[in-house]
């Protein structure tokens, strides 16, 4: 009986050990499996090694999770060897965007070459894609020449540039003052199948005006009809601004007459340019008359229109007149700038017109502007100067 009990206890111990071993084995297997899943989920590139079919949107999700830009090229290389690889514009746009954020333009160049040369990488690319790439080269990287090369390489990718993309490159060249290249790009418009429009001409005129080639810029007006284009308010305003900057205000007004005769209505910017030109020549009254003419022509003045007139009055040192014009601005719904208030107050202080100073100061603070220490100092100095003058007239020493 005792032997049977001992055997039962021994058998129970072995069963208990077997249960514990089985439990530990299952737990160990589960831990290894969980670690493998965690490792796979933490590294999204591991999915590129799977033989399961990957749809294009799944590939995009993988590339979206890649934070290290240097891993993008490796990932692109790995995905390109898959049988289900289907390159598309969205994928290349995503990769180039991430590379541009890390300023890796050499890698972007390699991708563009890869798209063009590798048969498997070829896909249909739109004008929007090239507009995006050119913008990356020009605005983000400052590689203007590379932007121009990309424009002229578009036919090699079986894509032809739109006028919008062409004009973007033109504007990029003007902004960076690459005037020598502009002529070459313009000559290549026909080769690229681009039809130039009014915006194209406006960009060229802006470039010529920036370079102070006023004569050539004005002569370009005669080229508009040859291309079935019509100059607009921007065209004339750009030319007038250049003429006024060079002191040729009378020629700018002749251009205004031509503008109106051609049936193009001047806008507020056009009038502001002319008012500013008159102000720089000290022709303040003519500027005010032109402001009134705007309203008669049905063109509503903006805050810039009034501010240009005000600055011209201030520049002529007529601070009392400036104060009166400020009243007019306020009555017509426009507020003078902080600089205007500051300059007028300091000018009135020099003329010791304390009553006008008080009026303008109250108006300034009512508009939410607070004078700085320098302005307060001049106000105080003007007050003491006024008291001294009053005392000297009355024979009193202050």
* pLDDT tier, 59 (very low <50, low <70, confident <90, very high otherwise): confident
Give the separation between CA 197 and CA 203, rounded to whole angstroms: 10
Beta-carbon contacts of residue 264 (< 8 Å; ≥ 6 apart): 230, 231, 232, 233, 236
**Is the torsion defined by CA of 237, 239, 240, 245 positive or negative?**
positive
Classify residue 112: in a domain, yes or no: no
- Residue 230, helix vs strand vs coil: coil
Q: Which of 24-33, 174-183, 315-324, 327-336 has the lowest mean pLDDT?
A: 24-33
* pLDDT tier, 273 (very low <50, low <70, confident <90, very high otherwise): very high
Q: Does 271 have pLDDT greater than 90? A: yes
**37 contacts 29 by C-beta, under 8 angstroms:** no
Give the separation between CA 188 and CA 119, rounded to whole angstroms: 28
Q: How many CB atoms lie within 10 A of CB 121?
A: 16
Question: Per-residue pLDDT tens for 309-344?
Answer: 999 999 999 999 999 999 999 999 999 999 999 999
**246 contacts 280 by C-beta, under 8 angstroms:** no
Q: Is 0.75 surpassed by the pTM of this model?
A: yes
Average pLDDT, the chain: 83
* pLDDT tier, 62 (very low <50, low <70, confident <90, very high otherwise): confident
Task: Check residues 133 and 59 and name the one with the higher pLDDT.
Answer: 133
Beta-carbon contacts of residue 12 (< 8 Å; ≥ 6 apart): none
Q: Does 46 have pLDDT greater than 90? A: no
Domain span including residue 327: 321-384
Q: Does 13 have pLDDT greater than 90? A: no
Give the separation between CA 168 and CA 175, rounded to whole angstroms: 10
Classify residue 214: in a domain, yes or no: no
Classify residue 343: in a domain, yes or no: yes
What's the rounded mean pLDDT across residues 175-190?
Answer: 90
Percent of the chain at pLDDT > 70 equals 82
Classify residue 379: in a domain, yes or no: yes
Q: Does 150 have pLDDT greater than 80? A: yes
Classify residue 211: in a domain, yes or no: no
Classify residue 271: in a domain, yes or no: no
Task: Check residues 43 and 379 and name the one with the higher pLDDT.
Answer: 379
Task: Check residues 40 and 365 and name the one with the higher pLDDT.
Answer: 365
What integer pLDDT is reported at residue 388 of this predicted model? 53
The tokens describing 125, both together, are 């690319």
Structural domain count, the chain: 1
Q: Does 171 have pLDDT greater than 50? A: yes
Q: Does 136 have pLDDT greater than 90? A: yes
The tokens describing 151, both together, are 């424009």
Task: Check residues 160 and 386 and name the one with the higher pLDDT.
Answer: 160
What's the rounded mean pLDDT across residues 378-398?
Answer: 61
Q: Does 55 have pLDDT greater than 70? A: yes
Classify residue 333: in a domain, yes or no: yes
Q: Does 267 have pLDDT greater than 90? A: yes
Classify residue 33: in a domain, yes or no: no
What integer pLDDT is reported at residue 169 of this predicted model? 97
Q: Does 20 have pLDDT greater than 60? A: no
């Amino acid at each position: 009986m005792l032997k049977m009990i001992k055997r039962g206890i021994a058998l129970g111990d072995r069963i208990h050990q077997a249960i514990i071993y089985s439990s530990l084995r299952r737990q160990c297997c589960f831990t290894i499996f969980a670690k493998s899943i965690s490792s796979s989920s933490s590294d999204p590139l591991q999915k590129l090694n799977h033989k399961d079919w990957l749809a294009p949107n799944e590939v995009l999700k993988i590339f979206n999770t890649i934070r290290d830009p240097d891993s993008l090229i490796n990932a692109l290389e790995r995905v390109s060897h898959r049988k289900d690889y289907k390159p598309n514009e969205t994928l290349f746009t995503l990769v180039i965007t991430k590379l541009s954020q890390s300023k890796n333009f050499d890698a972007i160049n390699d991708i563009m070459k890869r798209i063009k040369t590798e048969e498997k990488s070829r896909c249909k690319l739109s004008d929007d894609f090239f507009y995006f790439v050119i913008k990356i080269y020009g605005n983000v990287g400052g590689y203007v020449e590379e932007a121009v090369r990309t424009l002229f390489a578009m036919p090699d990718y079986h894509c032809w540039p739109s006028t919008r993309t062409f004009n973007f490159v033109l504007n990029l060249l003007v902004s960076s003052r690459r005037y020598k290249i502009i002529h070459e790009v313009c000559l290549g418009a026909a080769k690229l199948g681009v039809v130039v429009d009014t915006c194209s001409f406006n960009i060229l005129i802006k470039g010529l005006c920036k370079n102070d080639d006023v004569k050539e810029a004005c002569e370009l007006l005669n080229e508009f009809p040859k291309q079935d284009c019509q100059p607009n308010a921007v065209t004339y305003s750009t030319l007038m601004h250049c003429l006024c900057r060079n002191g040729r205000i009378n020629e700018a007004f002749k251009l205004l007459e031509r503008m109106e005769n051609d049936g193009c209505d001047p806008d507020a910017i056009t009038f502001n340019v002319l008012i500013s030109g008159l102000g720089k020549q000290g022709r303040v009254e003519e500027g005010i008359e032109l402001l009134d003419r705007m309203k008669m022509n049905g063109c509503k003045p903006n805050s810039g229109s009034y501010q240009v007139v005000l600055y011209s009055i201030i520049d002529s040192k007529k601070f009392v007149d400036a104060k009166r014009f400020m009243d007019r601005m306020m009555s017509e719904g426009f507020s003078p700038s902080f600089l205007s208030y500051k300059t007028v107050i300091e000018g009135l202080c020099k003329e010791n017109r304390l009553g006008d100073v008080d009026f303008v100061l109250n108006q300034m603070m009512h508009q939410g502007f607070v004078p700085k220490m320098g302005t307060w100092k001049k106000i105080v100095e003007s007050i003491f100067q006024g008291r001294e003058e009053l005392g000297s007239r009355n024979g009193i020493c202050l």
